[in-house]
């Protein structure tokens, strides 16, 4: 060691840069606390924190200013910056309207006489995030679901409607799903089930669309009414878009449509499949007793409809249900409604895509906008 060279023994080092990445203000406070503990030895503090002495001097200046936070990186002179008055107006309108840059730019030009490009609005909003406080919106009270008494319902007073995805990986094997894909078998099974008698109707489609949903309602209503069902039918459905979903307009139009036939619609709570429990349970029966044993036999739409015709006849007329006291749905139905048309037993599955197109426009939703019409060969 050379004579006259003075050294300081440092027990350990602190990585100031890493500490600053976590919290710049806390990192500077740590430096100031260390300075107090070592008699304000700036050289030793710089060595311990692994920085230059100029960094320590800068931290001391910030302490005198009374602000240990990072300084703004914006230049002091900004001749092209938007005036403060315009920025204040942009933030005020943004908080009031919640508009995006494009709509906010048009609004300011139309109602405030200010020409502010959308790109400029983005920069103004980005540097004034802390000032943006949205006013609370008036919350729309969601309609309370009507209570439904399953156990006192008469035949066809409550009908549960739902959609089943046929290619269920939990039910079918990979080979069965590949087989259905190879022959382009429809994806969806539409179901309607009477809560009282468990009598069931089914249909099929390739698309899960609003027009197919409308067609399914009309098909179920027409089938039941044409076979002597006179009760007021209450349909219970989930929140799928094919049944109206979250669109108040679709739900209103749907209720208007079916009210002409003396029917009503009740939407279940979102995420509560147990409110359609009877139909959900029947989907498992569909897998166990129809799709799993018969999937490999289906090679065309005609095969699907023929197989479904046999299955739904078996389901309604021959299969005993434990919930019905081991009676079939038809026998239970005939005991409750002796005058019902006996031909109701022959439920015919339909392919909704083609039927929906041929029915034409209704209620402002033109089905031809969603489907293609092909000339018959």
Domain boundary among 30, 65, 100: 65
Query: What pLDDT score was predicted for residue 94?
Result: 92
Tokens encoding 180: 């259905």
Higher per-residue confidence, 211 vs 186 = 186
Query: What pLDDT score was predicted for residue 354?
Result: 75
Query: What pLDDT score was predicted for residue 292?
Result: 94
217 and 354 in a single domain? The answer is yes
Cα 43 to Cα 55, 57, 163, 166: the distances in Å are: 11, 11, 75, 75
88 and 37 in a single domain? The answer is no
Query: What pLDDT score was predicted for residue 344?
Result: 92
120 and 208 in a single domain? The answer is no
160 and 197 in a single domain? The answer is yes
271 and 163 in a single domain? The answer is yes
106 and 203 in a single domain? The answer is no
pTM score, whole prediction = 0.60
24 and 99 in a single domain? The answer is no
pLDDT tops 90 at residue 179: yes
| pLDDT tens column, 331-374 | 999 999 998 999 999 999 999 987 766 665 544 444 333 444 43
pLDDT tops 80 at residue 377: no
Query: What pLDDT score was predicted for residue 81?
Result: 84
Query: What pLDDT score was predicted for residue 66?
Result: 87
Tokens encoding 189: 């099974």
For the ranges 145-159, 295-309, 315-329, the lowest mean pLDDT is seen at 145-159
Q: In what order do the strands lie in the sheet with 188-194?
A: 264-267, 234-237, 158-165, 188-194, 200-205, 350-351
| pLDDT tens column, 10-65 | 556 788 888 888 898 999 999 999 999 988 899 999 999 989 999 999 999 998 88
| pLDDT tens column, 226-283 | 998 888 899 999 988 888 888 888 888 888 888 888 899 988 888 888 888 999 999 9
Mean pLDDT of 157-166: 94
Cβ atoms of 83 and 91 closer than 8 Å? no
Among residues 104, 127, 122, 99, the alpha carbon closest in space to that of 114 is found at 104
Measured distance CA(83)–CA(61) in Å, rounded: 31
216 and 309 in a single domain? The answer is yes
In a domain, 4, yes or no: no
112 and 205 in a single domain? The answer is no
In a domain, 113, yes or no: yes
231 and 326 in a single domain? The answer is yes
Mean pLDDT of 133-144: 63
Q: Confidence band (pLDDT; 50, 70, 90) for 284?
A: very high
Mean pLDDT of 296-305: 94
In a domain, 9, yes or no: no
Consecutive H or E run containing 114: none
Among residues 183, 152, 153, 181, the alpha carbon closest in space to that of 167 is found at 181
In a domain, 145, yes or no: no
In a domain, 273, yes or no: yes
In a domain, 108, yes or no: yes
101 and 21 in a single domain? The answer is no
pLDDT tops 70 at residue 172: yes
In a domain, 144, yes or no: no
Domain boundary among 75, 98, 131: 131
Tokens encoding 2: 């050379």
In a domain, 47, yes or no: yes
Task: Quote the percentage of the chain above a pLDDT of 90.
Answer: 50
Higher per-residue confidence, 216 vs 139 = 216
**Domain count for the chain:** 3
- The domain that holds 268 is classified in CATH as 3.30.420.10
Q: Which domain holds residue 94?
A: 84-131
Mean pLDDT of 307-323: 93
276 and 213 in a single domain? The answer is yes
Query: What pLDDT score was predicted for residue 273?
Result: 85
Query: What pLDDT score was predicted for residue 358?
Result: 64
Query: What pLDDT score was predicted for residue 359?
Result: 61
Tokens encoding 296: 């490999």
């Amino acid at each position: 060691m050379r004579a006259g060279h003075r050294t300081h023994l440092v027990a350990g080092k602190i990585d100031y840069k890493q500490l600053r990445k976590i919290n710049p203000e806390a990192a500077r406070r740590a430096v100031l606390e260390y300075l107090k503990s070592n008699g304000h030895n700036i050289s030793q503090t710089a060595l311990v924190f692994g920085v230059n002495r100029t960094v320590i001097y800068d931290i001391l200046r910030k302490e005198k200013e009374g602000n240990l936070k990072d300084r703004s990186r914006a230049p002091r002179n900004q001749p092209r910056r938007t005036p403060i008055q315009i920025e204040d107006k942009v933030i005020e309108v943004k908080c009031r309207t919640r508009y995006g840059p494009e709509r906010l730019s048009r609004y300011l030009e139309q109602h405030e006489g200010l020409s502010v490009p959308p790109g400029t609005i983005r920069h103004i909003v980005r540097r004034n995030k802390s000032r943006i406080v949205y006013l609370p919106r008036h919350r729309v009270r969601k309609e309370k679901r009507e209570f439904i008494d399953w156990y006192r319902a008469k035949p066809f007073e409550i009908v549960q409607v739902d959609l089943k995805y046929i290619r269920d990986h939990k039910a079918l094997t990979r080979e069965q799903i590949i087989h259905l894909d190879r022959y382009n078998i429809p994806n969806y099974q539409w179901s309607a089930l009477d809560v009282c008698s468990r009598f069931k109707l089914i249909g099929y489609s390739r698309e899960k669309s609003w027009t197919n949903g409308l067609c399914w309602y009309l098909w179920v209503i027409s089938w039941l009414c044409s076979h002597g069902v006179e009760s007021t039918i209450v349909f219970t459905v989930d929140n799928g878009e094919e049944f109206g979903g979250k669109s108040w307009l679709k739900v209103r139009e749907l209720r208007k449509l079916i009210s002409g036939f003396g029917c009503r619609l009740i939407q279940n709570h979102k995420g509560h499949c147990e409110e359609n429990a009877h139909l959900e349970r029947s989907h498992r029966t569909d897998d166990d007793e129809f799709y799993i044993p018969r999937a490999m036999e289906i090679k065309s739409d005609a095969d699907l409809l023929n197989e479904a015709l046999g299955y739904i006849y078996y389901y309604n007329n021959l299969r005993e249900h434990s919930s019905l006291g081991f009676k079939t749905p038809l026998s239970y139905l005939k005991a409750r409604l002796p005058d019902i048309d006996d031909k109701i037993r022959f439920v015919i599955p339909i392919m909704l895509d083609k039927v929906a197109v041929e029915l034409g426009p209704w209620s402002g939703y033109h089905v031809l906008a969603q489907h293609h019409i092909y000339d018959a060969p």
